[in-house]
Amino acid sequence: MSDKPALDLLIAAPRGFCAGVDRAIRIVELAIEKHGAPVFVRHEIVHNKFVVDTLKAQGAVFVEDLDEVPDGAPVVFSAHGVPKSVPADAQARGLDYLDATCPLVSKVHRQAERLVAAGRHILFVGHTGHPEVIGTFGQVPEGTITLIETVEDAESLEPADPDNLAFLTQTTLSVDDTAAVMAVLLRRFPTIVAPKADDICYATSNRQAAVKAIAASCDAVLVIGAPNSSNSLRLVEVAEREGVRAALIQRATDLDWAFLDGVGTLGITAGASAPELLVRELVDRLATRFAVAEREVETTRETIAFKLPRGLEEAA
């Protein structure tokens, strides 16, 4: 009989790495295998310190600007996507580059181009300064796309041509928040062109649904993810909206034990850029103080995988 207090763990599934993150990390690893270290990566390949540090140890060098990449060095663009000017600059300098943009983000980029070519002004639902937003804005001429962050933005917007609008969204948003913004846009601008399929990626939607599924049975929820990870922050918000105390931690060592005061059932999930290793690390740390009983709650099974870019398929 353990003298440790009991703690039930409800572990959300799906959680952690999505197909786009898997692919992006693999692109960096294969580029290092193919070219040898160092391989430069423009911006964090995914928003997770553990992943970035692991790749640094293998020979990846992370930079914020292409100017920091020496002539002749291989460079990888992050999963969040980049403005068109970045690969154009890389080409002009003769750099050997690989684009690790998530295919679901690339799909939004192509939609943006098609809408602008058709003469539509795009309302883009997203967060100021997020690399995915910067990348999408950089696909189309300046002035052809307007950022909408909130329901209030959607209500107050006065477009020059309200009958010639379209909207797109960042892939890592809150499903509920985005639905509220979209409802306002559709009410105010009945002729607005909506995307054929939901832009919010399957992994973001699935992880949010999985948190909702466990929240009612939990006293608190821990989300493993980075503070600059949009999809991880949304998971905290989803749990809180369900009426549960929630916190974001990067590693098990970040856990404040006081957070668990009065908690009998703890929910655990991980953002799309957090590896499963960090979930196991957290469970192991909890087991040092509690008699842990864990149960996985699966709401859907993900089977999506994305192809590697040409030139790396052989290396794989």
What structural domains does the chain harbor?
Answer: 6-17+202-298 (3.40.1010.20), 19-102 (3.40.50.11270), 104-188 (3.40.1010.20)
Contacts 24+ apart (CB under 8 A), 202-206: 202/18, 202/104, 202/302, 202/304, 203/14, 203/18, 203/19, 203/20, 203/231, 203/272, 203/302, 204/171, 204/172, 204/173, 204/175, 204/231, 204/234, 204/272, 205/175, 206/14, 206/299, 206/300, 206/302
The mean per-residue pLDDT over the stretch 139-150 comes to 97
Give the DSSP letter string of 239-299.
HHHTT-EEEEESSGGG--GGGGTT-SEEEEEE-TTS-HHHHHHHHHHHTTTSEEEEEEEES
Q: Judge whether residue 316 has pLDDT over 60.
A: no
State residue 75's pLDDT score: 96
Structure tokens at 239: 């749990």
Q: Average per-residue pLDDT in the chain?
A: 95
Q: With a cut of 60, say whether residue 315 has pLDDT above it.
A: no
Res 262 pLDDT > 80: yes
d(CA 271, CA 287) in angstroms, rounded, equals: 22
Summarize pLDDT for 265-281 with one digit per residue, the tens. 999 999 999 999 999 99
Q: Work out the average pLDDT over 290-295.
A: 98
Average pLDDT rounded to a whole number, residues 6-26: 97
Of the candidates 94, 48, 54, the one whose C-alpha atom is nearest the C-alpha of residue 71 is: 94
pLDDT band, residue 199 (cuts 50/70/90): confident
pTM: 0.93
CA distances from 148 to 50, 152, 162, 220, 245 (A): 32, 9, 15, 32, 28
- Residues recognised as catalytic: 132
User: Are 206 and 299 contacting, i.e. CB atoms less than 8 angstroms apart?
Assistant: yes
Check pLDDT > 80 for residue 156. yes
Amino acid, res. 313: E
For the chain, percent of residues with pLDDT exceeding 70: 98
For residue 146, the number of C-alpha atoms closer than 13 Å in the C-beta half-sphere is 17
Is residue 177 pLDDT above 80, yes or no? yes
Nearest partner of 282 among 297, 299, 266, 264, judged by Cα = 266
Determine which helix (DSSP H) or strand (DSSP E) holds 39, and give its type and residue range: strand 39-42
Residues forming beta bridges with residue 248, ordered by sequence position = 223
